[in-house]
Structure 1
Amino acid sequence: MSETPYDVVVIGAGPVGENVADRARAAGLSVAVVESELVGGECSYWACMPSKALLRPVSALAAARAVAGSREAVTGPLDAEHVLHRRDSFTSHWKDDGQVEWVESIGADLVRGRGRLDGPRRVAVDTPGGETLVLTARHAVVVATGSRAKLPGLPGLDRARPWTSREATSAQAVPERLAVVGGGVVAVEMACAWQALGSAVTMLVRGEGLLERMEPFVGELVAEGLADAGVEIRTGVSVTGVRRPAPDSTVTLELAGVGESEADEVLFATGRAPRTDDLGLETVGLTPGSWLTTDDSCRVTDVADGWLYACGDANGRALLTHQGKYQARIAGAAIAARAQGRPVPEDDRWGAYAATADTAAVTQVVFSEPEAASAGLTLAEAEHRGYRARAVDTDLGSVAGAALVADGYRGRARMVVDLDREVLLGVTFVGHGVGELLHAATIAVAGEVPVGRLWHAVPAYPTMSEVWLRLLEAYRDGG
């Protein structure tokens, strides 16, 4: 087998791999990008883009119905056919021509096929034509293979053709009844979307509430919104088995101690696993199927000589597309610096070579109705890490801008303050449209802006951003 040398070989051409390749090419390094599916990755075709395209009409309709005058103009439900057609346009109808052109435009080589590590600095690619190509890396191999849906080992599940996040975001027809197993972000968003498109949705949640990794009030308000829309939420329920006698038959879910539930389709939104099980990790001394532990420059710590990097979901630091792209920019800068013999500081907290947001300022939006948005730590996380922290809450509906957005606006905001330094450790919002409030919170948390200085960031009146004034007043007044 012939070997083709590059400075950098990237396995995975999703947004994360694309960003690493872009940064490395910008520094003048030669790059090969290996992809076995569609260039653009999970986010473009089966996650962020199609899911948000499904959810935006839900939000728009809710906004119209929430205001007297526009409410009376709404004469019917969502048009499912048009929503699905618009969703398909955002996935480019599952064709990657545009993404391929972009990779080529930056001067990277795209190699189609299944890429696996084949020892240090080597990647073997099984191509669609049956050939095996070997790519070697002078400076770095980057794993950007993402994650996949993790299904439980339940009796009958392998024959039941369950939906995962992929099927839930790409389905071409609205099921009459949809069961959603799980209570996390995917479960909440897809329950919201498919209920609005006409499904009778039942959520089966093993825990006691929704979105349990966020502040407790978030799950409560989101559950109220889903229930008001018609979603049935059953908590404290465990699925023990699945039956589907034929491909076109209904699905029967066996529930521990409480009987059975039937649906036309079932979505299992029960976690993610790294796509590293068929990656050749064993050839470099790592365990197949494992999350890859990295330092803050995204270099894998358990591989000698520092040539292997992992960005995005594969390293398990923060399973969010925007966080993976952030890591990719960090890794690309670090790879380029090391290739050019420039120093990469070990403690680069405020610089270009360390991904510090993954531990201190992770951002997330749940595009349900109402939305939930957070930056940084919850109160429980802050206390677990040993901070002397205080939570400050306010009713978002009491803000003039929110009252104008929706009649009877329901929402809540919280900031978590480090009492020793008087900076924000985290901020959480829940309510209609709060995702657009989030970046101000992100800047405050990531920049460690002193609470006293935030008083001088004057919010415009009457906007929802006045919630910041209410939070600061509550902190001052001991609320």
Structure 2
Amino acid sequence: MVDEYDVIVLGGGPAGENAAAYAIAGSTRTAAIVERELVGGECSYWACIPSKALLRPGHVLAQARAMDGVTASGLDVAPVLRRRDAFVHDHDDTSQVGWAHDNRIEVIRGTGRLSGPRRVEVDGRELRARHAVILATGTTAVIPDIAGLRAALPWISRDATNLHEVPGRVVVVGGGVVACEAATWLSALGAEVTMLVRGTSLLGASEPFARDAVAAGLVEAGVRVLFETEPVRVDRAEVRDTGEGWIHGGPVTVAVRRGGSAPDDRASDADAAEIVADEILVAAGRRPATAGLGLDNVGLPEGYVAVDDQLTAVGVDGDWLYAVGDVNHRVALTHMGKYQGRVCGDVIAARAEGQPTTGSRYAASADHGQVPQVVFTEPEVASIGLTEAAARTAGYAVRTIEQEIGVAGTSLARNDFRGRAKLVIDTASRTILGATLVGPDMGEQLHAATIAVVGRVPLDTLWHAVPAFPAAAEFWLRLLEGLRLPEG
């Protein structure tokens, strides 16, 4: 027998959940989500939610220490971890399954794979989709091919977000968002952290001043940041598979080479220095979770699944296969995956009902130069749209304004407020192409910039968006005043 649904989603993370819900909303259509782990996915249990639960206590402590009359001694690790566990429901997805049930979405436990057009196999059970199959399987952590690294059973991001004990000394391999955030909370929890960064800066896609601010913040917190440094050999005499978030054995010795050696020189490590730690955390990128997904059964190669702006898979006839979230390699952010899921679901619903899909609602336009992101380090980096370099590369004629953003509202919030912001302006349309805000709690200020960028709000109109006083948003007025001055 073949079980039929209108929509079948492979992967139960936020992107897949949103796609399923939107595809059947207000109709009699049916949907099923196939999930081999926990409904709610990486974000709910191993990424965004637990990482922010771990980061917030450190931010609160820093703010308290920056306030006269407030006594703050430090973090108590056990309650911090209990609070994290409460947010991930102790890895119990009952509430998420209940949400699916309430939205008429059946949850099918198991490993799904494409077995042909509109067909899915789940551990021997055959399913058929009348309208759509949506791939929402996400990505998995990459372990680089470094001598001894895999054998040492290093931590990956899942271990770091679900840690049950804090290593005394940690080596973090990587300089991106995951590495910087993990270094932030590990240091706040008392670990001695060393970061090994291949390049010359952290957060390579960010504005230079933002990269520098995060590096300075980490160093100020006691993190040792080594640029142009990479591991060439890892040794761990005592290796134990103790489980996720527990230290995986005895001390780790990491041989590193500094100075940006060529890849073909890495095998020779006679000149490498050594760092000894209690654990090594690898945050060096991710790969698509498509192995064994059966892409070859529908004529697609292994790897990321390319899609158009309606999230329809490129290279598959019939407008039945879609991909949302990290697996399509457009934007690896949960909120953008959910956004894609909403667009995808609307497209599927319209096609199922024979309606046109020509309106802006049916295209994931924000994926192109309108992506908001917050890096929850100390200080935070909040950004939307294009950096100056990206805008110039794209051919825009731009003007920028970059300045400190200490105003009454920010100064009242904490004694040591240090913040900086930058706007990238399209001189032809006099609208904002991108904004980067750096400082405490700048993530809470980002949506105003997002609306300005996505709405292409002219600067002359923004002049009449009066910020309340004395709130942190007053810095918007200062930025606009800076744009009134002659350039240079």
Q: Shared fold (TM-score greater than 0.5)?
A: yes
Aligned twin of 1:372: 381
CA offsets per residue over residues 176-235 of structure 1, 9 Å max, x none?
Answer: 101111111000000000111010011111111111111011111111111111111111
Aligned twin of 1:421: 429
CA offsets per residue over residues 27-74 of structure 1, 9 Å max, x none?
Answer: 42211110000111000000000000000000100010112222xx11
What secondary structure sits across from 2:448 in the alignment? helix
Residue 143 of structure 2 contacts residue 150 of structure 2 at CA under 8 Å; is this kept in 1? no
Deviation at 1:25, TM superposition (A): 2.2
When normalised by structure 1's length, the TM-score is 0.96
Instruction: State which drifts further: 138-147 or 239-248.
Output: 239-248
Aligned twin of 2:301: 287
Aligned twin of 2:315: 302
Q: Tell me whether 1:452 sits opposite 2:460 in the alignment.
A: yes
How many angstroms apart in 1 are the aligned matches of 2:347 and 2:411? 47
How many angstroms apart in 2 are the aligned matches of 1:467 and 1:271? 35
Aligned twin of 2:391: 382
Q: Tell me whether 1:175 sits opposite 2:189 in the alignment.
A: no
CA offsets per residue over residues 121-148 of structure 1, 9 Å max, x none?
Answer: 101001xxxxx11110111100011111
Where structure 1 has 5 or more consecutive residues not aligned to the other structure, the ranges are 127-131
How many angstroms apart in 2 are the aligned matches of 1:249 and 1:194? 19
Aligned twin of 2:418: 410
How many angstroms apart in 2 are the aligned matches of 1:116 and 1:241? 37
Aligned twin of 1:61: 61
Instruction: State which drifts further: 245-254 or 43-52.
Output: 245-254
Deviation at 1:478, TM superposition (A): 2.8
Deviation at 1:391, TM superposition (A): 1.6
Aligned twin of 2:266: none
How many angstroms apart in 1 are the aligned matches of 2:438 and 2:372? 14
Q: Tell me whether 1:100 sits opposite 2:133 in the alignment.
A: no
Aligned twin of 1:334: 347
Deviation at 1:304, TM superposition (A): 1.0
How many angstroms apart in 2 are the aligned matches of 1:275 and 1:467? 42
CA offsets per residue over residues 244-267 of structure 1, 9 Å max, x none?
Answer: 121221111111244111110111
% identical aligned pairs:
51
Aligned twin of 1:77: 74
Aligned twin of 2:287: 273
Deviation at 1:309, TM superposition (A): 0.1
Aligned twin of 2:182: 190
How many angstroms apart in 2 are the aligned matches of 1:122 and 1:236? 48
Aligned twin of 2:253: 252
- Aligned pair count? 464
Amino acid paired to 1:58: G
Deviation at 1:238, TM superposition (A): 1.4
How many angstroms apart in 1 are the aligned matches of 2:77 and 2:381? 25
How many angstroms apart in 2 are the aligned matches of 1:27 and 1:9? 17
How many angstroms apart in 2 are the aligned matches of 1:478 and 1:125? 64
Aligned twin of 1:129: none
Residue 27 of structure 1 contacts residue 336 of structure 1 at CA under 8 Å; is this kept in 2? no
Deviation at 1:406, TM superposition (A): 1.8
Deviation at 1:344, TM superposition (A): 1.0
CA offsets per residue over residues 433-465 of structure 1, 9 Å max, x none?
Answer: 101000000000000000110000000111111
Where structure 2 has 5 or more consecutive residues not aligned to the other structure, the ranges are 240-248, 258-270
Residue 221 of structure 1 contacts residue 411 of structure 1 at CA under 8 Å; is this kept in 2? no
In angstroms, what is the RMSD of aligned CA positions? Answer: 1.0
What secondary structure sits across from 1:118 in the alignment? strand
